[in-house]
Amino acid sequence: MSPPLPPCAAPGQSHGGARKAQPRGEAEEEEEESEGPEYIPKKKAKNPMMVIGYAWMIGLPTGIIGFVLAKREVDKNRLKQLKIRQRMKRANEGEYDGSRYRHHTENVKPDH
């Protein structure tokens, strides 16, 4: 809450503007002195985003290459299993003649 205005102040003015009028040059000097010495960096500042940039430059291509290599390996294994299944299907197609069953039936003589 602001303090009450003095009776001579207009409603649009604040009471803080009632200090002594100083020439322009003296007022600027006083402001500079009150700020203190200006900070002058001795070396160039490091950008903290550089580390994140390097991480992306290394991590993104590595992740993509890893994904592609893993996908190729999975596809290779899938192809190998598909060929094995096709071979098993072909082996089961058609007339199945088991050699061990045929020998018994040909050599056996009926007892009539």
Cα-Cα-Cα-Cα torsion 67, 68, 70, 74, nearest 10 degrees, comes to 130
* Residue-level pLDDT at 112: 62
The reported pLDDT for the residue numbered 95 is 73
Residue 22 has pLDDT above 90, yes or no: no
Distance between CA atoms of 30 and 41, rounded to whole angstroms?
Answer: 24
Residue 105 CA to residue 99 CA, distance in Å, equals 10
Q: Which residues contact 57 (CB under 8 A, 6 or more apart)?
A: none
pTM: 0.42
Instruction: Give the Cβ contact number of residue 9 at 10 Å.
Output: 13
Pair 5, 11: CB distance under 8 Å:
yes
Reported as type and span, the H/E element at residue 47 is none
Q: Where are the domains of the chain?
A: 65-93
| Digit-coded pLDDT (tens) for 39-88 | 888 888 888 899 999 999 999 999 999 999 999 999 999 999 999 999 99
Mean pLDDT of the region 90-100: 73
> Mean per-residue pLDDT for 5-19?
53
